[in-house]
Amino acid sequence: MEPDRREETPAAVRAKARVLRRRVEQGSLWLSVEGESMGPTLGGDSEVLLVGAVRPRRGEIWAFYSDTGDLVVHRCLRVTSTAAVFQGDRHRRIDTIDDDLLVGRAAAVRRDGRTRPLGRGNRLRGWTLRTRRALKARLVG
């Protein structure tokens, strides 16, 4: 039986984001991630280390709440004056997220007992994956 999944009010989602963001700002926090939208960088059964940061930068991986209340971990594509645009490395859907829904930056990933930092090399990897996907889409479609 499927769990009863009701959409949360925008105020409730913003409150959840604010509480978790404050927790991350007080000290880093390991968060379990599910799904394959960020594969191969982040896969099922992995955890990310969230750290406090002011604003996303292009290529960084961040945790944020979607407007439906789901906690999501995706890569930042670009930043505007009031929002950031995110996309999973294996996703076509793009999320424009207001600053008050941001939780924190993913600084490391832990999988199969190994921990590795997420930094400059990881941003290049994300760019490569997105470029490859875009080229493939142009060739096929």
CATH number at residue 101: 2.10.109.10
Structural domain includes residue 59: yes
On the question of a cis peptide bond just before residue 40, with omega within 30 degrees of 0, the verdict is yes
Pairwise CA distance, residues 45 & 35, whole Å: 9
Pairwise CA distance, residues 83 & 96, whole Å: 6
Structural domain includes residue 2: no
Query: In total, how many domains does the chain have?
Result: 1
Terminal alpha carbon distance of the chain: 38
Structural domain includes residue 5: no
Structural domain includes residue 1: no
Structural domain includes residue 4: no
- Residue by residue, pLDDT tens for the chain (141 residues) are 444 556 789 999 999 999 999 999 999 999 998 887 887 778 778 999 999 999 999 999 999 999 889 999 999 999 999 899 999 888 888 999 999 999 999 999 998 889 999 876 665 555 555 566 556 666 766
Give the predicted TM-score (pTM) of the model: 0.81
Pairwise CA distance, residues 113 & 30, whole Å: 13
Instruction: Please classify residue 109 by burial: count the beta carbons closer than 10 Å to its beta carbon, then call 0-12 exposed, 13-18 middle and 19+ buried.
Output: buried
Structural domain includes residue 99: yes
Structural domain includes residue 62: yes
DSSP tag of 99? G
Structural domain includes residue 68: yes
* Domain ranges, residue 29: 10-140
The neighbour count for residue 96, using CB atoms within 10 Å, is 13
Alpha helices, DSSP H, located in 1-111: 10-26
